[in-house]
Chain A
């Protein structure tokens, strides 16, 4: 592949999308681990549609 017209823009766009997703995923996993430590093991259920407000 020979980089032609606009390849720099393509790389910039891919870089923005990839960086944003990577940073968000990393933070999401970190926050998940932190939140887990603060909840008793028996209450770490994630889907109970009947819990009232």
Chain B
């Protein structure tokens, strides 16, 4: 809903002009520096994967296609955080009925969908040179696609016009149902036979080393700071949009009362 220009709120010199603050600016700069370093190490300095037993299809390991690990794996790991936050926010909303928790759930879900989309897209591009196909109805891939669609549906449900409490309850229940898929995605490669490889970095079993491991860690750090930045900004945006809607409604009601000559 867009308020007419005449209803624009007055500004104060010390009021924030957006969703940024000192903390988010620091986070943003750190994130940009880390992503810059990630591009340098991920695409230039880190070596491609070589295979001691090269085969005809790959001409020796995954080669440079392996560089996709630095954007795909950190995104896949980090996408769980917003989905878990959405679950927690929805659960707390049902118990506490506080707008704060619902706002957190909605903001986190959008970031989760973004990261999940990136995971699906980069994974698909990676699948072509390594598996010979962009897509396969593998348990991990299928459950991840379902997770993406379920939370996309959750975001759509949040946009259906309704009383705030009805909308929030509906959204919270859908989020709880969709969250069941999160552990399924995480354990899919262990529970079923999968085309997808198992975790590159498990607690005691690291399968890469040297500069490649450093670059992957850099990817995790870059994505983590960016995720924090995104979550803070998205939460603040949702909070502001709710307040803007309240302001708009209050103003519209006041105008109608004035038109009808009803005393306040």
- A residues near B (Cβ < 8 Å) are 1, 3-7, 9-14, 16-18, 20-21, 24-25, 28-29, 31-33, 35-53
Please give the distance in Å from B124's CB to the nearest CB on chain A: 9
Q: How many A-B residue pairs have CB under 8 A?
A: 171
- Near A by CB (< 8 A), chain B positions 83-119 give 93, 97-102, 114, 117-118
Which of B11, B102, B233 is A28 in contact with, Cβ under 8 Å? B233
A38→B100 contact, CB < 8 A? no
Which of A10, A12, A44, A52 is B16 in contact with, Cβ under 8 Å? A44
Which secondary structure dominates chain B's binding surface? helix
- B residues near A (Cβ < 8 Å) are 3, 7-12, 14-20, 39, 42-45, 48, 58-60, 62-68, 71-72, 75, 93, 97-102, 114, 117-118, 121-122, 125-126, 128-129, 164-165, 168, 226, 230, 233-237, 239-241, 243-244, 247-248
A35→B8 contact, CB < 8 A? no
Which secondary structure dominates chain A's binding surface? helix
Which of B64, B98, B128 is A53 in contact with, Cβ under 8 Å? B98
B239→A9 contact, CB < 8 A? no
A38→B125 contact, CB < 8 A? no
